[in-house]
Amino acid sequence: MDLDVSPDRARRPLDTDKDEPRRHHDSDRGRSNQDSRRDKSHRHRDRRSRSRERRRHRRSRSPTDSRQPSPSRDRDRDRGRDRDRDRGREHRSRRHSRDYDKHGEMEKEKEKEKERGGERQKEREKESHRSRASRDQHRHRDQDRRDRDRDKDRDREKDKQVVKRNGPLPSQADSFAITNGEEPPKPKEKPNFGNTGALAAASNSVVQSDGSTIVLKYHEPPEARKPSPKDQWKLFVFKGDQIIDTVPLSSRSCWLVGRELAIVDLAAEHPSISKQHAVIQFRYLEKRNEYGDKIGKVKPYLIDLESANGTKLNSKKVPDSRYLELRDKDMIQFGESTREYVLMLAPKE
C-alpha cells in the first residue's frame, strides 16, 4: 500500500519527542485531505463517465449522430461492404458467365437449326426437281404416245376413206380405180345458166359507125340527178390567164372527160389524159337537219376513172374511183395538162 506524503511533511525536518503530538495531528490532517481529494477525483470521474454515457446515449438516438459511427464500427462496416461487394461481383460474374454460356449455346443451336433447315430446304428442292422432271418425262411420254395413236388413227381413216358424191353412184370401173389409188375420170361439165356479165357489158357499150364497140368504164348511179334550174353551174377553162371556153353544166347530170371523142362529153386532147379520164357527176343526197327533218339537194361530185396520170383538185391528187364533192371556185386539172378547169356557181337573182 502506498503512503501519501504531503509536501509540507516531506520538507519539515524531524523533531524531537516533544513535537510528537503535533506530528500526529499533521499526519491525520494530511490523510483527510488526501481522502477528500480522492473522493473528489472519484466523484469527478463518475460524473464524467455518466456524462459520457449520456452523450453516447443521445448520439445513438439522434439520426445525425448515427450517421457518424465510431471508427471501429466504420471499419467493420467498410469490411462488410467490401465483402458484400466482392460477393455481388462474384455472383454477377458467375451469372454473366452462365448467361454467356447459355447465349452461346442458344446461338449454336440456332446455327445448327439453320443448317438443318437449309439442308431440309435443299432436300425439298431436290425432291421437287425430281418430281417435276419425272412429271415432265411422263407428260412428254404420254404426249408422244397420243401423237403416235393420232397418226395411226389418221392412217386408218385414210385407208378407210369413202368418197361421198351427191350424184348417182360411180361406175364399177371408177370404184375399182378409187380402191386401187387411181384418180377417176373427171365428170363432164354441166350447163351453167348464171350471169356471165356479157349483157351488162353490152348495155354499157357504144357501137361506132365502122362496127367496132367501145365499152364504157362508168355508168351513172341511182341517185344521179340534173341540177335545179335555180343552180346554174358553169365550168371555166383557163390557159394561163385567158379563158378559153365556158361550159354550162346544168344541162345534164353526168359529164365524162377524156380523149375518146365518140363517147366523152367534155373533150380533152392532151396526150397525158386517158380516153375515159374522169367524170363530173351531179347526185341527189339527203341529210337530216338539227330538227330531224330530211333535206335533199343536188350537188356536183368528181370521180377519177383510174386514169394513168391522175386528176388534181385544188393542186391535190384525188383517189381513184371515189366521189369527192365539188364546191364553188374549185379548180380541177386532168393529167399533165396546163389547162385549169374552174367550177363556178352563178349568183341567184
How many helices and strands, by DSSP H and E, does the chain display? Answer: 6, 13
Taking only the tens place, the pLDDT of each residue in 103-123 is 667 787 878 887 877 788 888
Backbone φ and ψ of 163, nearest 5°? -80, 120
Secondary structure class of 183 (helix, strand, coil)? coil
**DSSP H/E element including 283:** strand 278-288
Mean pLDDT rounded to a whole number for the chain: 77
Query: Rounded to an integer, what distance in angstroms lies between the CA atom of residue 92 and that of residue 96?
Result: 6
Q: Are 243 and 250 in contact (CB under 8 A)?
A: no
Q: Are 264 and 319 in contact (CB under 8 A)?
A: no
Please, which pLDDT band fits residue 156 given cuts at 50, 70 and 90?
confident
Query: Rounded to an integer, what distance in angstroms lies between the CA atom of residue 349 and that of residue 242?
Result: 27
Please, which pLDDT band fits residue 233 given cuts at 50, 70 and 90?
very high
Interior CA angle at 75 toward 72 and 76, to 5°? 85
pLDDT at 335: 93
Q: Are 304 and 295 in contact (CB under 8 A)?
A: no
Taking only the tens place, the pLDDT of each residue in 268-318 is 989 999 999 999 999 999 888 888 888 889 999 999 999 999 999 999 999
* Interacting residues of 270 by C-beta distance below 8 A, sequence separation 6+: 259, 334, 335, 336, 337, 339
